[in-house]
């Protein structure tokens, strides 16, 4: 089954404790992206990757890092999480970046205390 | 910079009523794509439709229809004969010309009551 998977689905952590949210897709998509969803703000793009070893900032990259060493994986790293990073995070992928439809993972609900 | 506005934060209707969700966008690109996604209470994002900036034909898919008007920069979504299962948050989104940035509106929460 074609899908985007994220782990963990739920995470409660404390300020400053480094964490990684994994994202994997099995559709051989070149393009992958991370979003955060906050009430009233919709989804905002954090980082995206057009292909392996190519990453770029979205609208809200501060406090996040990403890497794209393999085509299928695009982990999101919070080196020193803060309470304002409490949010619902979505990973997405598409066959090609240019105007293609993005397919989303199930979401990761992160709480930083 | 591009922007998507969904002015209706919440709509409540009774089952079988028709409902229209508004979406207004801003972009400097001449080529772009518009999307609608549905987020049911379970939380996942479900793709509904993609429309490119050169195709202003309205589209109908079952009870769903979309009205794209370039002149008013709007891409509205209508559900005919709404059902309880339509209750969800609906997002309108705009892709830039390069295809690497997807900008979402704030979403409209639709509640369909039996």
Token representation of residue B78 = 């209508």
**R_g over Cα of chain A:** 13
In B, which residues are within 8 Å of A90 by CB distance? 45
B8 to chain A nearest CA, in Å?
11
Chain-chain contact of A106 with B50 (C-beta, under 8 angstroms): no
Query: B9 Cβ partners below 8 Å, 6+ apart?
Result: A40, B106, B107, B108, B109
Phi and psi angles of residue A6, each rounded to the nearest 5 degrees, phi first: -130, 145
Q: Angle B104-B108-B113 (CA atoms, 0-180°, nearest 5)?
A: 155
Averaged pLDDT, A38-67? 93
Cα of B44 to nearest chain A Cα, Å: 5
Query: Per-residue pLDDT for A71 more than 70?
Result: yes
State how far the Cα of B83 lies from the Cα of B91, in Å rounded to an integer. 18
- By C-alpha distance, the chain A residue nearest B42 is A106
> Residue A2: pLDDT band by 50, 70, 90 thresholds?
confident
Interface of A with B in 54-93 (CB under 8 A): 56, 58-59, 88, 90, 92
Single out the residue of A6, A10, A14 nearest to residue A33, CA to CA.
A6
With contact defined as beta carbons under 8 Å apart, do A108 and A88 qualify?
Answer: yes
Q: What percent of chain B has pLDDT over 70?
A: 100
pLDDT in tens, A5-25: 999 999 999 999 999 999 999
Is B101 near chain A, with CB under 8 Å?
Answer: yes
């Amino acid at each position: 089954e074609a899908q985007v998977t994220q782990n963990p689905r739920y995470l409660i952590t404390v300020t400053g404790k480094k964490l990684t949210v994994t994202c994997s897709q099995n559709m051989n998509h070149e393009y992958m992206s991370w979003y955060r969803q906050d009430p009233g703000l919709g989804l905002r793009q954090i980082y995206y990757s057009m292909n392996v070893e190519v990453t770029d900032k979205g609208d809200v990259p501060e406090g996040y890092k990403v890497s794209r060493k393999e085509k299928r994986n695009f982990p999101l790293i919070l080196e020193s999480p803060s309470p304002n990073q409490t949010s619902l995070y979505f990973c997405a992928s598409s066959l090609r970046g240019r105007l293609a439809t993005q397919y989303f993972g199930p979401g990761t609900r992160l709480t930083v205390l | 910079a591009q922007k998507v506005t969904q002015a209706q934060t919440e709509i409540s209707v009774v089952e079988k009523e028709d409902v229209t969700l508004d979406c207004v966008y801003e972009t400097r690109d001449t080529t772009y794509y518009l999307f609608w996604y549905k987020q049911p209470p379970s939380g996942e994002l479900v793709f509904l439709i993609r429309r490119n900036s050169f195709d202003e034909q309205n589209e109908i898919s079952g009870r769903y229809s979309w009205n794209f008007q370039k002149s008013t920069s709007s891409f509205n979504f209508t559900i005919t004969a709404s059902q309880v299962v339509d209750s969800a948050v609906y997002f309108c989104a705009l892709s830039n010309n390069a295809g690497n940035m997807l900008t979402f509106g704030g979403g409209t929460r639709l509640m369909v009551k039996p």
